[in-house]
Structure 1
Amino acid sequence: MTTQNPPRRFTPMSQFATDYPVLLIDSDAPLRELHNCISERLNAVLPYLQLMGCTSLPDYAENDINTVANIARILLQDVSDVFRVIEQRGFANAKGE
């Protein structure tokens, strides 16, 4: 299977379920919008993990814990991917100064 790379403007997000990148980050999006994207995910996952950390494990089945961990992993991977784009833009701008 031949995969084409997306245009440079779009950075693929990490994916584990597909062979071809289907979710892309617009590298040219305003920094405020990129920041809002990662803030939303962090503000969702941190209280979620806090809740799970305060929950008694015997109350849940193993499958439930795996689901919680997978949701947190996906959200945190999104944050990491968008941070990478922000950092690349920041470093590129710093070199141009």
Structure 2
Amino acid sequence: MKMNNPPRRFTPMTQFATSYPVLLIDSDAPIRELHNCISERLNAVLPYLSLMACTNLPDYAENDINTVANIAKILLQDVSDVFRVIEQRGFDVPNGCQPI
């Protein structure tokens, strides 16, 4: 059965290699779990990029640098996608109520 749109509960992640969303974010997941997901990715990619920033480029082949850039791009896009879900939930407040 082919779905044209995923259920509202699930938000598609940005796809780089597919035309159909295969990775979805559970928009109803607890905020703490969503935060843990993005924290894990940021804590993985930031030291990785810092290491690469301090590396002498002639030591590595151009293909290696492209691989590093692609890994960082995918992880940071995941972070951006989950942040979007958190923001949508965090800013969806009843009229008259302001977020703290």
Interval containing the TM-score (normalised by the shorter chain): over 0.9
| Alignment-derived partner of residue 42 in structure 2 | 42
| Alignment-derived partner of residue 78 in structure 2 | 78
For the Cα contact (< 8 Å) 1:10–1:26, is it kept in 2?
Answer: yes
Give structure 1 stretches of 5+ with no counterpart. Answer: none
Q: Distance in 2 between matches of 1:23 and 1:83?
A: 15
Q: Which structure is higher in helix share?
A: 1
Correspondence 1:7 to 2:29? no
3-state secondary structure, aligned to 1:90 = helix
For the Cα contact (< 8 Å) 1:34–1:82, is it kept in 2?
Answer: yes
Structure 1 residues 37 and 95: CA distance shift in structure 2, 3 A: farther
How far did residue 96 of structure 1 move?
7.1
C-alpha RMSD of matched pairs (Å): 1.4
For the Cα contact (< 8 Å) 1:3–1:20, is it kept in 2?
Answer: no
Percent of matched pairs sharing the same residue: 84
Correspondence 1:24 to 2:4? no
Q: Distance in 2 between matches of 1:95 and 1:80?
A: 27
Structure 1 residues 3 and 48: CA distance shift in structure 2, 3 A: same
Scaled by the length of structure 2, what TM-score is found?
A: 0.91
Query: How many corresponding residue pairs?
Result: 96
Scaled by the length of structure 1, what TM-score is found?
A: 0.94
Give structure 2 stretches of 5+ with no counterpart. Answer: none
Q: Distance in 1 between matches of 2:96 and 2:62?
A: 51
Structure 1 residues 94 and 87: CA distance shift in structure 2, 3 A: farther
Structure 1 residues 69 and 96: CA distance shift in structure 2, 3 A: farther
Structure 1 residues 75 and 3: CA distance shift in structure 2, 3 A: same
